[in-house]
C-alpha cells in the first residue's frame, strides 16, 4: 500500500487501479498516484538549453525520484546512486533505451547505443574484443600523431594575436582520431573543411536536436520530403553512409583471415591498417551484414567524438580557472613525457592527469543524463531518495549530473578537485550506498562506478557501460599532455564581455563561458582563450 500525493491510499494489487495508474503515469497531467512527487514549474526552467540544470533545481525541491510531465508524456527522474545501480546493473534486463532508441534509430540504426536488448547482446559480444589491450597500447601513438595538426595550428596562432576558440579545435581533433582509429579514414578536420566533415556535424546536430524535441515530427508522413531541415539532414546522412559503405566494402575485399587469438595478440607495429573496422571484418568474416557494420561505425563515430571533445573543453576551462592545478599538472607532464609523444606507459604513470580528466567528467558528465524505459514492472530501492514502483512503459531520466554534484556523495561538489578521488568518503545517512573507496580503482585507468558504488558514472555502468571508456581516457590524456606541455592559456575576456554572466553564475561556473546541452554539455559562448608558447622547463 502506498500513499498518493493528495493523501489517498493506493493499492497496486487492484487491476483497475493499476491500469488507471499506468495511463496517468505515462500520460501525465494528473496527481501522481505512485508516491512520486510531480515536479511543477515553468517549462522555461528546462527549455533554455540547460535541461540538466532545471532537473537539478527540481531535485532540490522534490528529491529522488520525482516525475516530470511534458504535455502528454511523463518521465521519472532518478538522482540517486542506489537507484541508478538498480536500473543499470541489478535489474538491467527490466529496462531498454526507450525514447532514446526511437530518436537515434534513423541515424544509428541498430548500432550498440540504440540497439534493442536482443540485438545488443549479439553485437556487444562481437565489438568488445576489438578494444583489446594490444590495440589500445598501439592506438595511443596514433592519438599523438592526430594531435600534431592541433599543435601546428596553435603555434600559428601564437605567432599571430594568440586568440583561439578551443572547443571547436578539440571537436576537430576528436573527429580526426575517431576517423583514423575506428575506420582508417583521414578527415583532416583540424586543417580543412569538406562535405564529409560537414555531413558528420549535420548528423550530430540532428541527433542532438531530436534528443531535445519531445514530438518526433520527423516520423510524420512526407515530413522527410517537405521539411527543408530534414531534406538536408537526409542528404548529409546519405553522403556519410556512402563513405562508410565504401570503407566497409574495401575492408572486406582486403580481408586477411586470422583467428581471434592471433588478432588479439598481433604485433600492431607490423599492421598497415590498425583500425577497429579492420579488426571487426577480419574477426567476423566477409559475410557480415554491411548495414549492421555501418550502424556500428556510425554509432562509434557519434558516441566517441563529441563526448571526448566536451571533456577536453571543460578540462581546459577548469585548468585555466585554476592555475595552481594547471601548474601541478604541467610539472607531471614535464617530468614523465617532456617533448616526446606520450605512450601507454606514460599515461599510466601520469595519475594526476588521469584524475584531472576524471574530475572533469564528474563536474561535466557527457551525457548529463541517461535514458531508459521500463519493460517489466519494477520497484526502486530507497537509497538516498524514496522507494518507488515503476510501471511498464515508464520513461526514465537518470540525472547523472545531479548525482555527480550532490554533496552527500561528493563534498564541495562544485569545486574542481582532482585529488578527491584519492580520499575515501562514505555517508551513513544514505542506506545502501557503500561510499567511495580509492582502493577499489587501484590498477585501473580511472576511478570508476565500482569504486564509487555508482555515485560516479562517467561511462554509465552495468551491462550497457561504454565500450570506449579506456580509449576515451587515453585519447583525452594524450591530447592534454601534448597541448599543455607546449602552451599556456588565459581567458580572452574580450570575447565574453556582455555575455550571459547571470546565467553562468547560476550554473556555478563563475565565468561567462556559459553552458548549454545537447547530447553533451557544450559551452554557450565558446571557449575563447589566448594561447602563448610555454617556456621549456629545464
Ligand atoms: C555508451 C560516455 C567515448 C562508444 C556510453 C555510455 C556513456 C558513455 C555514459 C552509456 C550510455 C547509457 O547507458 O545509456 C562516454 C564518454 C566518452 C565516451 C563520456 C568520452 C569521454 C566513447 C568512445 C566510443 C564510445 C571513444 C567508441 C569509440 C560507446 C558505445 C556505447 C557507449 C558503442 C554503447 C554501449 C552499449 O550499449 O553496449 N558512453 N563515451 N564511447 N559508448 Fe561511450
Whose Cα sits closest to atom 23 in ligand 1? 304
Residues 391, 379 contacting (CB under 8 angstroms): no
SS3 251: helix
Do 94 and 184 lie in one domain? The reply is no
Burial (0-12, 13-18, 19+ Cβ within 10 Å), 246? exposed
- Is residue 444 situated within a structural domain? no
Q: What's the rounded Cα separation, in Å, for the pair 324 and 328?
A: 6
What is the reported pLDDT for 226? Answer: 81
DSSP state letters, 139-177? HHHHHHHHHHHHHHHHHHHHHTT-EEEHHHHHHHHHHHH
Question: Ligand 1 test: best mutation among 466, 476, 478, most atoms within 8 Å of CB?
Answer: 466
Ligand 1 atom nearest to 100, measured from its CA: 14
Do 350 and 377 lie in one domain? The reply is no
What are the backbone dihedrals phi and psi of residue 185, each rounded to the nearest 5 degrees, phi first?
Answer: -125, 130
Domain of 492, CATH number, reads 1.10.630.10
Q: What's the rounded Cα separation, in Å, for the pair 434 and 38?
A: 29
Q: Work out whether strand 370-374 and strand 163-165 pair parallel, antiparallel, or are unpaired.
A: unpaired
CA–centroid distance, residue 469 to ligand 1 (Å) = 7
The enclosing H or E element of 10 equals: strand 9-10
Whose Cα sits closest to atom 17 in ligand 1? 307
- Is residue 1 situated within a structural domain? no
Residue 313: closest CA among 516, 526, 158, 482? 526
Residues 254, 223 contacting (CB under 8 angstroms): no
Residues 10, 34 contacting (CB under 8 angstroms): yes
Residues with a CB atom less than 6 Å from ligand 1: 112-113, 124, 182, 299-300, 303-304, 307-308, 311, 361, 366, 370, 458-460, 464, 466-468, 471-472
Region of residue 63 (left: phi > 0; alpha: psi -120 to 50; beta: else) = left
Residues 486, 333 contacting (CB under 8 angstroms): no
Domain of 410, CATH number, reads 3.30.43.20
Residue 101: closest CA among 115, 91, 121? 115
Do 150 and 187 lie in one domain? The reply is yes
Distances in whole angstroms, Cα of residue 355 to Cα of each of 16, 260, 299, 440: 53, 34, 27, 15
- pLDDT tens track of the chain, all 538 residues? 333 333 333 344 445 555 555 555 555 455 566 678 888 665 555 656 678 888 898 898 889 999 887 666 778 999 999 999 999 999 999 999 988 888 888 888 999 999 988 899 999 998 999 999 999 999 999 999 999 999 999 999 999 999 999 999 999 999 999 999 998 888 888 888 778 888 888 877 787 777 666 667 777 878 788 888 888 888 888 998 999 999 998 888 887 766 666 767 777 777 778 899 988 888 776 667 889 899 999 999 988 888 999 999 999 999 999 999 999 999 999 999 999 999 999 999 999 999 999 999 999 999 999 999 999 999 999 888 888 889 899 999 999 999 999 999 999 999 999 999 999 999 999 999 999 999 999 999 999 999 999 999 999 999 999 999 999 999 999 999 999 999 999 999 888 887 776 667 777 788 889 888 777 898 989 999 999 999 876 5
CA–centroid distance, residue 496 to ligand 1 (Å) = 32
CA–centroid distance, residue 219 to ligand 1 (Å) = 26
The enclosing H or E element of 75 equals: strand 73-78
- Is residue 7 situated within a structural domain? no
Distances in whole angstroms, Cα of residue 112 to Cα of each of 23, 130, 246, 292, 300: 31, 14, 21, 10, 9
CA–centroid distance, residue 465 to ligand 1 (Å) = 7
Whose Cα sits closest to atom 32 in ligand 1? 466
CA–centroid distance, residue 307 to ligand 1 (Å) = 8
Do 135 and 176 lie in one domain? The reply is yes
Distances in whole angstroms, Cα of residue 289 to Cα of each of 181, 193, 237, 280, 293: 21, 31, 19, 12, 6
- Is residue 422 situated within a structural domain? yes
CA–centroid distance, residue 173 to ligand 1 (Å) = 18
What is the reported pLDDT for 1? Answer: 32
Whose Cα sits closest to atom 29 in ligand 1? 466
What are the backbone dihedrals phi and psi of residue 496, each rounded to the nearest 5 degrees, phi first?
Answer: -105, -5
3-state SS, 506-534, equals HCCCCCCCCEEECCCEEECCCCEEEEEEC
- Please provide the size of the chain in residues: 538
What is the reported pLDDT for 6? Answer: 37
Do 149 and 195 lie in one domain? The reply is yes
Do 505 and 392 lie in one domain? The reply is no
CA–centroid distance, residue 453 to ligand 1 (Å) = 19
Do 72 and 179 lie in one domain? The reply is no
Determine how many CB atoms are found less than 10 A away from the CB of residue 48.
Answer: 15
Question: Ligand 1 test: best mutation among 111, 468, 480, most atoms within 8 Å of CB?
Answer: 468
Do 160 and 222 lie in one domain? The reply is yes
- Is residue 451 situated within a structural domain? no
Q: How many domains does the chain have?
A: 2
Dihedral of CA atoms 216, 222, 228, 230 in degrees, nearest 10, equals: 40
Beta strand segments in 292-409, E: 370-374, 378-380, 388-390, 395-398
What is the reported pLDDT for 4? Answer: 36
What is the reported pLDDT for 475? Answer: 98
Alpha helices by DSSP H, 4-90: 15-27, 44-47, 51-62, 81-85
Residues 474, 138 contacting (CB under 8 angstroms): no
Do 408 and 528 lie in one domain? The reply is no
Residue 404: closest CA among 355, 366, 443, 354? 366
Residues 293, 252 contacting (CB under 8 angstroms): no
Q: Is 36 annotated to bind ligand?
A: no
- Is residue 442 situated within a structural domain? no
Do 63 and 208 lie in one domain? The reply is no
Domain ranges, residue 94: 12-106+367-428
- Is residue 434 situated within a structural domain? no
What pTM was estimated for this model as a whole? 0.91
Ligand 1 atom nearest to 473, measured from its CA: 21
What is the reported pLDDT for 500? Answer: 73
Residues 309, 170 contacting (CB under 8 angstroms): yes
What are the backbone dihedrals phi and psi of residue 489, each rounded to the nearest 5 degrees, phi first?
Answer: -130, 145
Q: What's the rounded Cα separation, in Å, for the pair 90 and 344?
A: 33
Do 374 and 468 lie in one domain? The reply is no
Q: Work out whether strand 378-380 and strand 487-491 pair parallel, antiparallel, or are unpaired.
A: unpaired
The last residue of one of the domains, among 384, 406, 428, is 428
Distances in whole angstroms, Cα of residue 308 to Cα of each of 145, 242, 367, 444, 524: 17, 25, 11, 19, 17
Do 198 and 278 lie in one domain? The reply is yes
Checking ipTM against 0.95, whether it exceeds it is yes
- Is residue 32 situated within a structural domain? yes
Dihedral of CA atoms 508, 514, 517, 519 in degrees, nearest 10, equals: -100
Amino acid at each position: 500500500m502506498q500513499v498518493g500525493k493528495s493523501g489517498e491510499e493506493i493499492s497496486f494489487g487492484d487491476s483497475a487501479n493499476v491500469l488507471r495508474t499506468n495511463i496517468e503515469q505515462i500520460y501525465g497531467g494528473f496527481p501522481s498516484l505512485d508516491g512520486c512527487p510531480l515536479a511543477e514549474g515553468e517549462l522555461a526552467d528546462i527549455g533554455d538549453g540547460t535541461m540538466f540544470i532545471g532537473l537539478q533545481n527540481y531535485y532540490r525541491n522534490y528529491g529522488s525520484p520525482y516525475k516530470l510531465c511534458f504535455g502528454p508524456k511523463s518521465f521519472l527522474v532518478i538522482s540517486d546512486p542506489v537507484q541508478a545501480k538498480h536500473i543499470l546493473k541489478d535489474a538491467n534486463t527490466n529496462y531498454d533505451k526507450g525514447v532514446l532508441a526511437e530518436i537515434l534509430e534513423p541515424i544509428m540504426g541498430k548500432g550498440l547505443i540504440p540497439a534493442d536488448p536482443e540485438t545488443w547482446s549479439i553485437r556487444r559480444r562481437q565489438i568488445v574484443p576489438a578494444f583489446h589491450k594490444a590495440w589500445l597500447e598501439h592506438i595511443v601513438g596514433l592519438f599523438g600523431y592526430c594531435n600534431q595538426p592541433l599543435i601546428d595550428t596553435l603555434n600559428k596562432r601564437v605567432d599571430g594575436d594568440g586568440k583561439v576558440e578551443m572547443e571547436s579545435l578539440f571537436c576537430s581533433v576528436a573527429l580526426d582520431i575517431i576517423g583514423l582509429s575506428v575506420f582508417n579514414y583521414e578527415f583532416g578536420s583540424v586543417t580543412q573543411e569538406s562535405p564529409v566533415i560537414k555531413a558528420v556535424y549535420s548528423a550530430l546536430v540532428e541527433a542532438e536536436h531530436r534528443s531535445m524535441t519531445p514530438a518526433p515530427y520527423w516520423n510524420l508522413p512526407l515530413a522527410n520530403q517537405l521539411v527543408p531541415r530534414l531534406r538536408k539532414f537526409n542528404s548529409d546522412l546519405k553522403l556519410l553512409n556512402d563513405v562508410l559503405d565504401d570503407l566497409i566494402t574495401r575492408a572486406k575485399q582486403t580481408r586477411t583471415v586470422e583467428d581471434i587469438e592471433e588478432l588479439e595478440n598481433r604485433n600492431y607495429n607490423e599492421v598497415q591498417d590498425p583500425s577497429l573496422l579492420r579488426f571487426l571484418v577480419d574477426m567476423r568474416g566477409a559475410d557480415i551484414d554491411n548495414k549492421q557494420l555501418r550502424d556500428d561505425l556510425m554509432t562509434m563515430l557519434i558516441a566517441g567524438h563529441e563526448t571526448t571533445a566536451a571533456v577536453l573543453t571543460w578540462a581546459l576551462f577548469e585548468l585555466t580557472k585554476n592555475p595552481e592545478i594547471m601548474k601541478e599538472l604541467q610539472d607531471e607532464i614535464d617530468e614523465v613525457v617532456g617533448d616526446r609523444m606520450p605512450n601507454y606507459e606514460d599515461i599510466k604513470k601520469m595519475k594526476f592527469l588521469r584524475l584531472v580528466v576524471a574530475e572533469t567528467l564528474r563536474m561535466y558528465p557527457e551525457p548529463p543524463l541517461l535514458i531508459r524505459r521500463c519493460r517489466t514492472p519494477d520497484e526502486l530501492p530507497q537509497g538516498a531518495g524514496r522507494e518507488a514502483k515503476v510501471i511498464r512503459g515508464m520513461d526514465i531520466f537518470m540525472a547523472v549530473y545531479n548525482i555527480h554534484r550532490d554533496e552527500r556523495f561528493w563534498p564541495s561538489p562544485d569545486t574542481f578537485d582532482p585529488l578527491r578521488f584519492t580520499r575515501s568518503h562514505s555517508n551513513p545517512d544514505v542506506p545502501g550506498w557503500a561510499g567511495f573507496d580509492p582502493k577499489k580503482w587501484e590498477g585501473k585507468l580511472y576511478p570508476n562506478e565500482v569504486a564509487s558504488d555508482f555515485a560516479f558514472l562517467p561511462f554509465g555502468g552495468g551491462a550497457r557501460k561504454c565500450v570506449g571508456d579506456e580509449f576515451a581516457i587515453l585519447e583525452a590524456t594524450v591530447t592534454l599532455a601534448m597541448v599543455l606541455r607546449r602552451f599556456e592559456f588565459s581567458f580572452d575576456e574580450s570575447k565574453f564581455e556582455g555575455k550571459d554572466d547571470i546565467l553562468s553564475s547560476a550554473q556555478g561556473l563563475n565565468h561567462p563561458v556559459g553552458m548549454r546541452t545537447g547530447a553533451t554539455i557544450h559551452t554557450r559562448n565558446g571557449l575563447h582563450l589566448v594561447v602563448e608558447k610555454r617556456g621549456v622547463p629545464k
